[in-house]
Structure 1
Amino acid sequence: MNVRIGGQRRSVGVVALSACLAATGVIAPAAAEDGADEVIALDPLEVIGQIFAGWQGASDDVYDTPGAVAQIGREAIDERGGARNSGDLVRGVAGVNAVMDRQNPGMNVNIRGLQDQGRVNMSIDGARQNFQQSGHGATAFAYIDPELIGGVDIDKGPTSLAGGAGVIGGVVNFRTLNFDDIALPGRDYGVRFNGTTGTNAFTFNGSLAAASRVTESFELVGAVGRKKLGEYEVGKRGDLDYVGLGERAEYTTQDQWSWLLKATAEPAENHKLTLSYTGLSTKFGTGSGPYVDTDDVVNHTIVADWRWTPGSAWADVAAKLYYTRTSNDQFRPRRLRDPDGDPNDPGNIRYSEANVDYAIDTYGGSLSNTSRFAIPLFDVALTYGGEYFLDKTDTASVYADPADDPSGSQFTGSNPVGERGVGGLFARAELSHADWLKVLAGVRYDRYYMKGSGVVFDGLGSGCGSARCPSPFDVDVDGGRFSPTATIAVTPLTGLQLYTSYEQGYRPPNIMEAILGGEHIGGPLQAPFAPNPNLDPEISRTVEAGANVKLDGVLQDGDALRAKASIYSTWVDDFITQAAVRSGNDTMLQNVNLKDRTRLRGVDLEANYDAGYAYIGGSASFIDARYGDDYDNIPSFGPALAGIYLAPKRKLAVDGGARFFERRLTVGGRVTYVDPEDNIGSITGAYNYNTYTLIDLYTSFKVNDQITFRASVENIRDVAYVEAMGAALSPSPGRTFTIGATARF
Structure 2
Amino acid sequence: MRIGGTRNGVSTTKVTGVAATSRLLVGVAGCALAAASVVIPRSALSQAIENTSTVAATRQFSIPAQPLTDALGQFGRQSGLQVAFPAEVAQGLSANAVVGTFTPRDALARLLQGTGVSWRITAQGAVIVGGQTTDASDDGAVTADGSLLLDTITVTGQSERAASSGSGYQGTPDWVYETPSSVGVISREAIQSAPSRNARDLLDNVAGVYASRAEAQKPGISVNIRGLQDNDRVGMMIDGARQSFQRNGHGATQQTYVDTAFVRAIEVEKSGTSGAGSLGTLGGSVNFRTIVADDLIQPDRKWGVELNGTTGTNNYHFDGSLAAAIRLSDSFSVLGGVSHKNIGAYEVGKNGELRAQTTTATGDTFLFSGQEVLSTILKAEADITDDAKLSLSWVRNESDFSTGNYSTFLGDTMLLETKQNVVNDTFATSLDWNPHSNLVDLKARLYYNQTDHEDNAYVIDGVGRNYKMETPGGSIENTSRVDTSFGLLSLNYGAEAFRDDGKSNNPAVIIDGMDQTDYYNGGNPAGKRDVAGGFFNAKLEHDDWLTVQGGFRYDWYRASGSTTIYGNETRDIIQTIEHPEIPCRQPFPTRPDICIGGQPAWTEYVYGDPYYPRYGVNINRSDGAFLPTFTVAVKPYDWLQPFVKYSESFRPPTVMESFLNSGHQGVSNSYAPNPYLEPESAETWELGVNISKDALFKADDSLRLKVVGFYREVEDYIALGRTYNEDAARYYTSPVNLSGATRMKGVEVEANYDARAWYLGGTLTYNEADYPRWYGSGAGLGYLGAESSVIFVQPEIRVALDGGVRLFDEKLTLGARMTYVGKTEPTIGSLQNNYKLDDYTLFDLYGSYAINENAKLRVSVTNLTDKAYVSALGADYYAMPGRTITASLNLKF
Pairwise same-fold verdict (TM > 0.5): yes
Q: Is the 8 A contact 1:44 1:153 kept in 2?
A: no
* Alignment pair present for 1:410 and 2:519: yes
Matched, 1:644 2:761: no
DSSP 3-state at the match of 1:362:
strand
Aligned pairs for 1:662-741 within 5 A: 662-680=809-827, 681=829, 683=831, 686=834, 688-727=836-875, 729-741=877-889
Q: Does 1:300 align with 2:425?
A: yes
**Counterpart position of 1:84:** 197
Cα distance in 2 for partners of 1:315, 1:462 equals 70
Distance change in 2, residues 1:113/1:711 (3 Å): same
Q: Does 1:311 pair with 2:436?
A: yes
- Name the structure 2 match of 1:70: 184
* Residue 468 to residue 638, structure 1, CA distance change in 2 (3 Å): farther
Instruction: Show structure 2 runs of 5+ residues with no match.
Output: 1-9, 12-36, 40-61, 63-158, 407-414, 574-606
1:399 and 1:448 mapped to 2: Cα distance? Answer: 32
CA pair 459-572 structure 1, distance change in 2 beyond 3 A: farther
Identify if the C-alpha distance between structure 1 residues 600 and 56 changes in structure 2 by more than 3 Å, giving closer, same or farther: same
RMSD: 2.4
Q: How far 1:92 sits from its partner (Å)?
A: 1.3
**Of 36, 46, 61, which aligns to 2:162?**
46
Change (3 A) 1:462 1:127: farther
Once the two structures are superposed, what CA deviation does each residue of 1:642-685 show, in whole Å capped at 9, x if it has no partner? Answer: 13111121111111100100000000011111113223336387
| Residue of 342, 352, 368 corresponding to 1:228 | 342
Structure 2 equivalent of residue 183 of structure 1: 297
Residue type of the alignment partner of 1:309: N
Is the 2:863–2:882 Cα contact (8 Å) retained in structure 1? yes
Report whether the alignment pairs 1:556 with 2:698. yes
Question: Aligned to 1:365, which of 474, 489, 499?
Answer: 474
2:487 is the alignment partner of 1:375 = no
Structure 1 residue 56: Cα displacement: 2.3
Deviation at 1:396, TM superposition (A): 2.1
- Per-residue CA deviations over 1:102-137 (Å, capped at 9, x if unaligned) read 311111111111111111111110001111111111
Q: Give the C-alpha shift of residue 469 in structure 1.
A: 2.6
Letter of the structure 2 residue corresponding to residue 46 of structure 1 = A
Shift of 1:532: 0.9
Counterpart AA for 1:188? K
How far did 1:212 drift?
Answer: 1.1
* Closer, same or farther: CA 434–398 of 1 in aligned 2, 3 Å: same
Please say which of residues 719-728 and 292-301 is displaced more in the overlay.
719-728
User: Offset at 1:183?
Assistant: 2.5
**8 Å contact 2:509–2:515 — kept in the other structure?**
no
**2-structure distance, mates of 1:44, 1:114:** 29
Is the Cα contact below 8 Å between 1:274 and 1:305 reproduced in 2?
yes
Could you say what secondary structure the match of 2:852 adopts?
coil
Distance in structure 2 (CA, Å) of the matches to 1:382 and 1:722:
47
Q: How does 1:9-28 map to 2 (within 5 A)?
A: none
Whole-angstrom distance in 1 between the partners of 2:781 and 2:569: 20
Q: Specify whether residues 728 and 314 from structure 1 end up closer, same or farther in structure 2 by C-alpha distance, changes over 3 A only.
A: same
1:543 aligns with 2:685: yes
Q: Does 1:656 align with 2:803?
A: yes
Q: Secondary structure at the match of 2:286?
A: strand
Q: Secondary structure at the residue paired with 2:468?
A: strand
- The one of 283, 288, 305 equivalent to 2:400 is 283
CA distance in 1, matches of 2:530, 2:472: 9
- Partner residue, 2:377: 260
* Correspondence for 1:93 among 206, 217, 223: 206
Whether contact under 8 Å (2:649, 2:683) holds in the other structure is yes
> Does the residue aligned with 2:366 lie in a helix, a strand or coil?
coil
Give the superposition deviation at 1:544. Answer: 1.0
Whole-angstrom CA distance in 2 between matches of 1:59 and 1:664: 21
Are the counterparts in 2 of residues 85 and 102 from structure 1 also a CA contact under 8 Å? no
- The answer to whether the 8 A contact 1:201-1:229 is kept is yes
> C-alpha separation between the residues in 1 aligned to 2:519 and 2:664?
5
Looking at structure 2, the residues matched to 595 and 572 of structure 1 have their Cα atoms a distance apart, in angstroms, of 10
What's the counterpart of residue 125 of structure 1? 239
Partner amino acid, structure 2, of 1:524? V
Q: After alignment, is 416-425 or 631-640 more displaced?
A: 631-640
Aligned to 1:30: none
Mapped to 2, the partners of 1:186 and 1:558 lie a distance apart of: 28
Question: CA 1:631/1:687 → structure 2, altered by over 3 Å: closer, same or farther?
Answer: closer
- Structure 1 counterpart of 2:654: 510
Letter in 1 for 2:889: A
**CA contact under 8 A between 1:435 and 1:491: conserved in structure 2?**
yes
- Deviation at 1:587? 4.6
Question: Which residue does 2:113 correspond to in 1?
Answer: none
Structure-to-structure mapping, 1:569-588, within 5 angstroms: 569-581=711-723, 586-588=730-732
Moved more, 204-213 or 181-190: 181-190
One-letter amino acid of the structure 2 residue matched with residue 139 of structure 1: T
1:321-347 CA distances to partner (integer Å, 9 max, x unpaired)? 00000011110058xxxxxxxxxxxxx
My pick for the range that moved more, 464-473 or 565-574, is: 464-473
Please state whether the residue corresponding to 1:431 is helix, strand or coil: strand
Could you report, residue by residue, the CA deviation over 1:285-332 in whole angstroms, capped at 9, with x for unpaired residues? Answer: 112112121110001000000000000000000000000000111100
Separation (CA, whole Å) in 2 of partners of 1:214 and 1:205:
30
Q: Structure 2 CA distance, aligned partners of 1:172 and 1:142?
A: 10
Contact between 2:426 and 2:447, CA under 8 Å: does it hold in 1? yes
1:455 is aligned to 2:455 = no
Deviations 1:588-624 (A, max 9, x none): 2100000021111000000001111111100010000
Structure 1 stretches of 4+ moved >6 Å: 351-354, 461-466
* Letter of the 2:532 counterpart: G
Could you say if the C-alpha distance between residues 726 and 404 of structure 1 is closer, same or farther in structure 2, counting changes exceeding 3 Å?
A: farther
Per-residue deviation, 1:278: 0.2
Contact 1:582 1:637 in 2 (8 A): no
Deviates more, 1:473-482 or 1:599-608: 473-482
Distance between the aligned counterparts of 1:170 and 1:727, measured in 2?
25
Deviation string 1:448-482 (CA, Å, 9 cap, x unpaired) is: 11111111223467999975432011111111111
Q: Are 1:270 and 2:387 counterparts? A: yes
Of 397-406 and 447-456, the range deviating more from structure 2? 397-406
Confirm or deny that 1:330 pairs with 2:455: yes
Q: Structure 2: which amino acid aligns with 1:540?
A: A
Deviates more, 1:699-708 or 1:462-471: 462-471
Distance of 1:629 and 1:715 partners within structure 2: 38
Partner in structure 1 of residue 219 of structure 2? 105
| Aligned residues of 1:467 and 1:524 also touching (Cα < 8 A) | no
Residue number in structure 2 paired with 1:520: 663
Alpha-carbon distance in structure 1 between the residues aligned to 2:462 and 2:303: 51
Q: Secondary structure, in 3 states, of the residue corresponding to 1:133?
A: coil
2:537 paired residue among 421, 428, 440: 428
Letter in 2 for 1:427: F
Q: Is the 8 A contact 2:775 2:781 kept in 1?
A: no
Confirm or deny: 8 A CA contact 2:704 2:753 kept in the other structure. yes
Residue in structure 1 matched with residue 506 of structure 2 by the alignment: 397
C-alpha distance 113-242 of structure 1, shift in aligned 2 (>3 A): same
TM-score (norm 2): 0.74
CA distance in 2 between partners of 1:427 and 1:146 (Å): 33
1:567–1:604 contact (8 Å) kept in structure 2: yes
Distance 1:621 1:455 in 2: 44
Identity, % of aligned pairs?
Answer: 38
1:61 is aligned to 2:175: yes
Residue type of the alignment partner of 1:93: V
Distance across 1 between alignment mates of 2:784 and 2:187: 48
